[in-house]
Structure 1
Amino acid sequence: MPHLPSLPDDARLVDVFKRYPDSSMPLLAYHETVMRGPSPFTLGERELIAAYVSGVNACAYCHGVHTRTAEEFGVPAGLLAAAVADVDTAPVDEKLKPVLRYVGKLTRTPSRMTADDAAAVFAAGWDEKALHDAVMVCALFNFMNRMVEGHGIAADAAYYALSGKRLHDIGYDGLARLVSD
């Protein structure tokens, strides 16, 4: 049940976007830049980072939607649950593990980030642009997790599948067009 009385009982994030387009349209444009713009990370890897951060935050809605989106981009089913449970033993590409450790720490204890944390990402073969992009995905989804939880938005597995397929197919610009119709 959403926390805003103007929203329907089964409100989804799209309903919040439609209700508040002045703040939502720039946010969706930013999503398109961060999640679909040029990056050392693939689209699937960025969705994986988003889902991982959302899982660390226990935001079921964002974790569910972005897990399914990542799977649409080829991330194996079950990988994200394993990564949230223990990134070190999860079947995640070894090159991505330091990135997930970094965004996990940034999510849990942001004031404790150190140059050594960044050095681990660089040692795995990622460059400065990659670290920047990982930080931006992490920051965006920490924001989105709080937005979803603050508005009381929830969904089920069927919606996660629908939304994940939609994001895969039309991206965030497509979602903005859908919201503005």
Structure 2
Amino acid sequence: MSFLNSLPENPVLMDVFRRFPDTSRPLLDYHEVLMRGPAPFSVAERELIAAYVSGVNSCDYCHGVHTVTAEVCGIEQGAIPAALADLDAAPVGDTLRPVLRYVGKLTRTPSALTPEDAEAVRAAGWDDSALHYAVMVCALFNFMNRMVEGHGISAGPDYFAESGKRLKETGYAGLNRLLDD
């Protein structure tokens, strides 16, 4: 149920984007650059980070959409819920585990991050560019989680499946094109 009277009764995020295109277009452009442009992490890994952060925040909408997106892009099915339940036992790979640990801490207790947290990411083989991308994906999805929750956006598994496949096929630039429809 939307918190904005100008949105439909059961809106999805595209309804917010269509209602407010002036603020949505630049945001979607940024998503495209960060989530689909050249980066140290694959598209699937960036979607994994987005889904993980959204799960830490208990944002069911973003967690659902980006879990499906990560899986259709190549992340093992069930890896994201497993990582949220027990990161050390989750099938996410030893190089991604410290990255997820870092973005989890950045999400939960940002002022508690230490140089040792960053060093753990580097020790797993990532450089400063990768750490930067992890921070930026984390920051973007903390923003998006608050945007979704603040507007009262929700959806279910059918929508998550549809949206995840659409994101794989068209990226975020495709969402910007949908604003013209």
TM-score interval (norm. to shorter): over 0.9
Contact 2:76 2:91 in 1 (8 A): no
For each residue in 1:40-80, what CA deviation from the matched residue of structure 2 results, as whole angstroms up to 9, or x when unmatched? 10000000000000000000000000000001101111110
Residues 44-55 of structure 1 mapped to structure 2, 5 A cutoff: 44-55=44-55
- Residue 13 of structure 1 is matched in structure 2 by 13
Query: Which contiguous aligned blocks of 4+ residues in structure 1 show a shift greater than 3 angstroms?
Result: none
Structure 2 CA distance, aligned partners of 1:17 and 1:53?
A: 22
Structure 1 CA distance, aligned partners of 2:71 and 2:91?
A: 14
Compute the TM-score of the two structures, normalised by the length of structure 1: 0.99
- Residue 38 of structure 1 is matched in structure 2 by 38
- Residue 24 of structure 2 is matched in structure 1 by 24
- Residue 102 of structure 2 is matched in structure 1 by 102
Once superposed, what is the RMSD of the aligned Cα atoms?
Answer: 0.6
Deviation at 1:180, TM superposition (A): 2.6
Structure 1 CA distance, aligned partners of 2:157 and 2:65?
A: 8
* 3-state secondary structure, aligned to 2:94: coil
Structure 2 CA distance, aligned partners of 1:12 and 1:179?
A: 13
- Residue 168 of structure 1 is matched in structure 2 by 168
Structure 2 CA distance, aligned partners of 1:75 and 1:56?
A: 18
Structure 2 CA distance, aligned partners of 1:167 and 1:155?
A: 16
Residues 25-174 of structure 1 mapped to structure 2, 5 A cutoff: 25-174=25-174
Structure 2 CA distance, aligned partners of 1:56 and 1:68?
A: 16
Deviation at 1:6, TM superposition (A): 1.0
* 3-state secondary structure, aligned to 1:135: helix
Deviation at 1:165, TM superposition (A): 0.2
User: What letter corresponds to residue 163 of structure 2 in structure 1?
Assistant: S
Compute the TM-score of the two structures, normalised by the length of structure 2: 0.99
* 3-state secondary structure, aligned to 1:180: coil
- Give the gaps of 5 or more residues in structure 1: none
Deviation at 1:157, TM superposition (A): 0.1
Deviation at 1:86, TM superposition (A): 1.4
